[in-house]
Amino acid sequence: MKRRHFLGAATALGAGAFLSPQAFANSRTPARVVIVGGGWGGLSAARYLREFAPQLEVTLLERNASFWSCPLSNHWLVGRVDGALLSHDYRAAAQRWGYRFVQAEVSQIDRDARLVVTEAERIAYDWLVLAVGIRHDYAAWFGADHDTIAYTRQHYPSAYTPGAEFPRLRDKLTEFKGGDLLMTIPPQPFRCPPAPYERAVMIAGWLEQRKVPGRLIILDANPPFQEFQRVFREHFPKRIEYHTQMKIVAVDPRRRTVECEFDSFGFDEAILIPPQQAASLAWQADLIGRDENSRPGGWAAVDPLSFAARRDARVFMVGDMIDRVSSLFGHYPKSGQMASRQGRIVARQIAARAAGAAAPLELPDSLCHITTQFDPPAALRIAASYRLRGDGELIQQTKTQRDPQPRGEDLAWAQGMFREFLAP
């Protein structure tokens, strides 16, 4: 019997009746936590659950065979870091921290029966952690034209979620011999807002270094990112054409054109990043927040401090999938460190509930090292921290520092994070 099937059989069905938190504390059967998504949020939840509540049975489900880090992937795309730094073994991490890992795509959450459904099995949970990240809203460009969506994914990958699109984009860049390379930047909110600009700097610098006669055309749906606008202007005046506040009205990947409200663009090669939303499982589980007219807003609704789903106290959600949490600052930053911190907070929440106790207040934080110049390198350090005001309002403080002489801080940060939730 394969390990995955054995593990599945051990946890399948027989969900058991509802137990109160106190009953959990007294029960001899270990309560079951199922985590879906082995990214920054899910892996951190799994690791800290084992530390904070070793009596709980923890299962992590992930569709990919190995972990892939989006942070530093822009450097990898142009050969500046080794893939071995970014790719990690899930089974080694599970063994190190002592939880079960099952490689499987979760197709359905049955919240009434408290079951997670994959092709091979149905796994019961007492608490569920969803850390499934984002999905691309290609429907905003192509409606229900699934052929064109598949064509776009295949030919113009965004490389914005862990998986096969990264090597595909790298191959395309390597084969790019010149002409117009177009990149779209989606409207906020989206995963790691500085990342597409960093990618632009990497690609432009790399084309320059290899003397490829190519030009990068950026269609940004947002107002200008000033730091990068300056870099593009000063360092790549001939390489980068930066258009801001571009509202895309039509994309034709076969004819290689993008039509905006007031202008049209052709391209030879492209990185087409469409608008983003919470990943599909949050939609299937009916956990998406709604606006004042009851229309789904696109992101998963949680309590900003406990990360419990607004619609189900048995479900916690962390990372890039979650909705805005504040009328003052909107969304938590959609960053790896933020997802990881939220995973740790949720582990504490579940551990406390399992013990019939209240969880201590813990607020997340975020830190991002973003490369702004190719050669000589320069970087931005963007930090966000949080506090509760006297009236209970959550306050965000952000600090952006220029680092004109980075010395591997980004690598050191990533390696520190990986040590926290993987087995590097």
Ligand X SMILES: Cc1cc2nc3c(=O)[nH]c(=O)nc-3n(C[C@H](O)[C@H](O)[C@H](O)COP(=O)(O)OP(=O)(O)OC[C@H]3O[C@@H](n4cnc5c(N)ncnc54)[C@H](O)[C@@H]3O)c2cc1C
Interface positions with ligand X (CB under 6 A): 36-42, 61-64, 70-71, 73-74, 105-106, 131-133, 160-162, 191-192, 195, 279, 281, 319-321, 334-337, 339, 368-369
Nearest to 304 by CA among 325, 286, 329: 325
Tell me how far, at minimum, the Cβ of 17 lies from ligand X, in Å. Answer: 27
In whole angstroms, how close is the CB of 193 to ligand X at the nearest point? Answer: 9
Smallest distance, ligand X to C-beta of residue 391, A: 30
> Of the candidates 352, 354, 356, 384, which has an alpha carbon nearest to the alpha carbon of residue 368?
384
- Calculate Rg over the CA atoms of the chain: 22
Output the smallest distance, CB 159 to ligand X, in A. 7
- In the three-class reduction of DSSP (H, G, I as helix; E, B as strand; rest coil), residue 79 is classed as coil
Q: With respect to ligand X, which residue has the nearer C-beta, 61 or 217?
A: 61
- Measured from the CB of residue 63, what is the shortest distance to ligand X in angstroms? 4
Toward ligand X, which CB reaches closer, 24 or 40? Answer: 40
Do residues 104 and 5 touch, judged by C-beta distance below 8 A? no
Instruction: Decide whether 16 or 416 has the Cβ nearer to ligand X.
Output: 416
| Whether the Cβ atoms of residue 119 and residue 107 lie closer than 8 Å to each other | yes
Question: Nearest approach, Cβ of 112 to ligand X (angstroms)?
Answer: 19
> In this complex, which beta carbon is closest to ligand X, that of residue 70 or of residue 315?
70
Rounded Cα–Cα distance for residues 125 and 115 (Å):
6
Residue 290 identity (one-letter amino acid): R
| Cα 117 to Cα 12: distance, rounded to the nearest angstrom | 10
Please give the backbone phi and psi of residue 400, each rounded to the nearest 5 degrees, phi first.
-115, 125
Decide whether 24 or 350 has the Cβ nearer to ligand X. Answer: 350
Q: What is the bridge-based pairing of β-strands 269-271 and 264-266? A: unpaired
Backbone angles phi, psi at 373, to 5 degrees: -135, 145
**Minimum Å distance from CB 77 to ligand X?**
8
Identify which of residues 24 and 384 has a Cβ nearer to ligand X in the complex.
384
| Burial class of residue 408 in the structure, from the number of CB atoms within 10 Å of its CB (0-12 exposed, 13-18 middle, 19+ buried) | exposed
Q: Which is nearer to ligand X, 16 or 408 (CB)?
A: 408
CA distance 26 to 21: 9
At 189 the three-state DSSP class reads coil
CB of 118 to ligand X, least distance (A): 8
- Cβ–Cβ < 8 Å for 317, 18: no
Which residue number places its CB atom closest to ligand X? 39
Which CB atom, from 142 or from 197, has the smaller least distance to ligand X? 197
Neighbours of 414 (CB within 10 A): 21
Of 149 and 203, nearer to ligand X (C-beta) is: 203
Q: How far is the CB of 331 from ligand X (least distance, A)?
A: 11
246 half-sphere exposure, CB direction, 13 A CA radius: 23
Beta bridge partners of 288: 300
- Report the C-alpha gap between 172 and 214 in whole angstroms: 13
Question: Cα(255)–Cα(245) distance, rounded to whole angstroms?
Answer: 23
Q: In this complex, which beta carbon is closest to ligand X, that of residue 63 or of residue 314?
A: 63
Count Cβ atoms below 10 Å from residue 389 Cβ, excluding itself.
9
In the complex, the smallest distance separating the C-beta of residue 415 from ligand X, rounded to whole angstroms, is 13
